[in-house]
Amino acid sequence: MDSATSTAAPAAGPEAPARRPGRSRGAVSLGVLLLIVPTAVAACRVADVDAITPFPQLLAFLPWLLLPAGAALLVAFLGRWRAGMAWAAAVLAVTGWFVRPYDTGLADTPSGHVTAQLEVLTSNVEFGQAADGLVAAVRREKPDLVFVQECAARCSDALAKRLPRADYPYRNVVEGEMASGSAILSKYPLRDTPGIDSTLAMPGAVAEIAGEEIHLQLAHPLPPIPGGVDAWQRELGLMREYAAKVKDAPAIVAGDFNATPDHAAFRRILDAGALRNSADLGGASRTPSWPTMVGAPLGAQIDHVLVSPEFSVREARFLELGDTDHRSLLVGLDLHDAR
């Protein structure tokens, strides 16, 4: 008798649970790459340090690090990477806190009545190339005090020949080639002071305005280029020492600081001299002044007019001169009699 063979079907086991979607490895890798730089720069800002290259350079453009941090948050969300979402949100929150428009709470009018109103212009004319634009701006705006950086021979000649002594009878001009020359022009009587010993000329003066002696200091420290951060910090340190020296006197410090309010070295100048940033008080916070080639709102605000508490700020405007990589800053100030 032939026996039939049969194949029994295997018994069905318990059904495996459906695999839940997890985080994407690609999202993690991309998110980490996007967050490394913003995290490190935000940490420098929190720690109140400028550190070493490339951090001083990146701190100048702190607001724009919101872009990679925001992209990282989106990548982490799409990739279901929860830790990455928390990381990116934290970086965005910290950076956003520091890049918000400055509200120092110092815009209150100083005590004492107004004894003088004056306009102050600071301008970096890039090796003297923007001399024509500077002369035109001075003739148009008629500022009382003018601070000029990178005033090479073309610039100093233009100031001497095209701005009459009758308009600006008081001047402290330091001749220099390329970026080293500087000038202070004034409608008020000036007494020259030694200024700050620096690579690029930073002359100083004392102006007599409404019976008050006002300390004036032009700012033009070296830029924080790679390999030159130590020199940049040293010269900003000299400016901090100057600010501390004139802390109890009316003072205006103006020029190209090669630093933004996001640099610790710049903030220490403010603290040492009880100085205030006129652009912040005049409604121009975060307005970029350099480089002009990228156009607003890109760039960084490195040109400043700092004032002591005896001054209130009526307005602050950035001007386009042409032929220079900087925008000029014009501020209207009121001098108050603190006595």
Segment 222-266, tens digit of pLDDT: 999 999 999 999 999 999 999 999 999 999 999 999 999 999 999
Q: Give 298's pLDDT tier (boundaries 50, 70, 90).
A: confident
Instruction: Tell me what pLDDT residue 102 has.
Output: 63
Mean pLDDT of the chain: 91
Q: Is the pLDDT of residue 201 over 90?
A: yes
**pLDDT value of residue 8:** 53
Q: 276, 307 in Cβ contact below 8 A?
A: yes
> What is the C-alpha separation between 316 and 314, in angstroms, rounded?
7
3-12, 76-85, 164-173, 175-184: the lowest-pLDDT one: 3-12
Query: Poorest-confidence range of 15-19, 81-85, 134-138?
Result: 15-19
Beta strand 182-186 pairing with 170-174 = antiparallel
Instruction: Report d(CA 68, CA 45) in Å as an integer.
Output: 17
Task: Identify the residue with better confidence: 162 or 17.
Answer: 162
pLDDT (tens digit, 9 = 90+) per residue, 36-47?
Answer: 999 999 999 999
pTM of the predicted structure, to 2 decimals = 0.90
* Among candidate residues 316, 310, 318, the one with its CA nearest the CA of residue 332: 316
Give the pLDDT score at 1. 47
- The residue-averaged pLDDT of 26-31 equals 92
Residue 20 has pLDDT above 70, yes or no: no
What is the 8-class DSSP label of residue 50?
A: -
Contact by Cβ (8 Å): 125, 103:
no
| Cβ-contact 253, 278 below 8 angstroms | no
Residue 21: the pLDDT is 57
Residue 27's closest CA among 82, 91, 66, 64? Answer: 82
pLDDT of residue 184 exceeding 60, the answer is yes
Is the pLDDT assigned to residue 84 strictly greater than 80? Answer: yes
Calculate mean pLDDT across residues 57-67: 95
Burial of 37 (0-12, 13-18, 19+ CB in 10 A): middle
Mean predicted confidence (pLDDT) in 259-286 = 95
Residue 129 structure tokens: 């190339």
In eight-state DSSP terms, residue 120 is: E
pLDDT (average), residues 103-108:
51
For every residue of 210-268, DSSP letters joined together read TTEEEEEEEE-PPP--TT-HHHHHHHHHHHHHHHHHTTTS-EEEEEE-S--TTSHHHHH
Q: Is the pLDDT of residue 16 over 80?
A: no
Query: Which tokens go with 298?
Result: 């890109």
pLDDT at 35 over 60: yes
Average pLDDT over every residue of 10-25: 59
pLDDT value for 14: 56
Which has more confidence, 282 or 11? Answer: 282
What lies within 8 Å, CB to CB, of 67 at 6+ separation is none
Whole-number pLDDT of residue 19: 47
Distances, alpha carbon 240 to alpha carbons 53, 89, 221, 236, 269, in Å: 21, 35, 12, 6, 4
Alpha carbons 22 and 253: distance in angstroms, whole number:
57
* pLDDT tens digit sequence for 155-174: 999 999 999 999 999 999 99
pLDDT above 90 (res 329): yes
